[in-house]
Amino acid sequence: MEPADRGPEAWATALLFAGVSAIGLVLGALGFAEGRLQTRSGGLLSLVLPWLGALFYGTLSLIALRSPRSPWLSRAAGFYMFAHATLVTEGLLSGILCWPCLAAAGLAFAAGTLQAIRLSADRITVATGLALGAAAAFFSPVDRADDWLTRSLWPSQIISRLPAIVDRAELAACPHPSAVRLFVFEKDCKS
């Protein structure tokens, strides 16, 4: 690698990625301590996603420092722009705002914008990732994936999210083996 490759843009991009990674570590630690993050479903994905993000952005930070012209930075730009556009738009649509998540998205958007300014070939990738990510959020893919993962791998978390008026013993009382059980309760009824 030539010294000219490691200019201020490379350092700025690496610092932005490192910032997103640090936020992911903090969110992961908080989510682990609380057992969930502030998402509508609050399931398994909300616990795992910050750790995966910290690893992903930490790796991108190292790549940006060691090889600023790496094609992996260009390939990743569309992915992370899509992912953050989906997460932010879905959060706004559901009315759940996670300020650290918005800060991480802002840093990722800044890194993507810097990448698009530096390499004109990445402009379409970045813009398309943003547009498609925002459009995909209207179908709630993150909450759907979170619900599916939680039902599949952590079903006890679903029971813990039921209101206090639901009798937990009644949930396990059915002796018939069944894949589906329907429990109906009225939110404001105390009996």
Domain range summary for the chain, segments of one domain joined by +: 3-148
pLDDT at 3: 41
Question: Is a pLDDT exceeding 50 seen at residue 137?
Answer: yes
Of 16-30, 35-49, 53-67, 85-99, the one with minimum mean pLDDT is 35-49
Distance CA 126, CA 113 (A): 7
Distance CA 170, CA 172 (A): 5
pLDDT at 147: 73
The pair of three-digit structure tokens given for residue 92, joined into one six-digit string: 């706004």
| Mean residue pLDDT across the chain | 80
Question: Is a pLDDT exceeding 90 seen at residue 143?
Answer: no
pLDDT at 184: 66
SS3 assignment, position 156: helix
Terminal Cα-to-Cα distance of the chain (whole angstroms): 71
- Higher-confidence residue: 134 or 3? 134
Work out the pLDDT band at 31, boundaries 50, 70, 90.
confident
Q: To which residue do tokens 């813990």 refer?
A: 160
Q: Which residues contact 77 (CB under 8 A, 6 or more apart)?
A: 112, 115, 116, 122, 125, 126, 129
pLDDT digits 0-9 by tens, 68-120: 888 999 899 999 999 999 989 988 888 888 888 899 999 999 999 998 888 88
- Higher-confidence residue: 156 or 38? 156
pLDDT digits 0-9 by tens, 153-189: 767 666 666 677 777 676 666 666 666 666 666 656 6
**Sign of the CA dihedral running 113, 118, 122, 124:** positive
